[in-house]
Amino acid sequence: MTDFDHIEKVGVIGGGLMGSGITEVTARGGLSTIVVEVTEEAAQAARERVEGSLRKAEKRGKISAEDVDATLERIVFTTELERLADRDLVVEAASEREDVKLGLFERLGTILEQDDAVLTSNTSSIPIVKLGAVSGRADRVMGVHFFNPAPVMQLVELIPSLTTGEATKARMQHFVTEKLGKQPIEATDRAGFVVNSLLVPYLLSAIRMYEAGYASAEDIDKGMVLGCGHPMGPLALSDLIGLDTIRAIGVSMYDEFKEPLYSPPPLLDRMVDAGLLGKKSGHGFYAY
């Protein structure tokens, strides 16, 4: 087995929308996958989320019932971070908070048993170099940013930091293309990377437009869908991504670049403070 092929055991931290999607992708790729959540209830919710997605794919004829069962057998859900000790690769998909991610990477640096194990983050905006520094294995740390829904979206952003080793970059390029069947692009370790640097200012602009009373949420979205050929309007897309995530990315990008277009508008702050986070909370710019 070559060094490139030596990723068979994967760990995923976080079983939310992104974590469960990444779990489905790796398990469908034939890889043993351990998912770590903070509570038993969250772990059970992650299990139901993954199985529900697989059953939907089965109903659409994308996967057989036998493959669904085989995929689920490859996944273990747990609350114990130490269960990741033997993993070849860990993908962190916890909440978009720098303090949480730094704490996890510091712990994982001591937990992982294999010297060549790769530690990655699905962060949208937090500097990868910081995560590498606290892990004590900076040459084997990089960003691997999936897009929602991960089982469907083909793009993965690969983000090496200043300290990421060439071997780690090559392994992750091979892993994403050959093991997962995704299409990678490489971005520099700057807040927002490629996609969010373009997307988030657009979403924030739509929120400002709605806040200023230019048009209803429905008409803003209809304008971009029917007028520009977008598959989804910016406010509906914000709800899908999560308004807390949009705000966190905007804050991180504004902190780094000090560009006003990255600064979250007051309405977004108020909605997040009120728990109106979009689809995942049942209400955002639309009710679900």
Contacts of 198 (CB under 8 A, 6+ apart): none
Per the structure block, which two tokens stand in for 135?
Answer: 């892990």
Write phi, then psi, for 165 (nearest 5 degrees): -75, 155
The answer to whether 196 is a known catalytic residue is yes
Marked catalytic residue, from 124, 161, 238, 252: 124
Marked catalytic residue, from 145, 161, 238, 252: 145
R_g of the chain, CA atoms, integer Å: 19
Q: What is the C-alpha to C-alpha distance for residues 269 and 274, in angstroms, rounded to an integer?
A: 9
Calculate the CA dihedral of residues 48, 51, 52, 58 and round it to 10 degrees: -170
CA distances from 262 to 57, 61, 92, 254 (A): 36, 41, 25, 5
Marked catalytic residue, from 20, 161, 196, 238: 196
Per the structure block, which two tokens stand in for 263?
Answer: 């600064």
The answer to whether 148 is a known catalytic residue is no
Of 193, 194, 196, 144, whose CA–CA distance to 169 is shortest? 144
Q: Taking each helix axis from N to C terminus, what angle separates 234-241 and 217-228, rounded to the nearest 10 degrees?
A: 110
The answer to whether 124 is a known catalytic residue is yes
The answer to whether 283 is a known catalytic residue is no
- In terms of DSSP bridges, do strands 32-36 and 9-13 run parallel, antiparallel, or are they unpaired? parallel
Marked catalytic residue, from 92, 122, 157, 238: 157
What residues are labeled active site? 124, 145, 157, 196
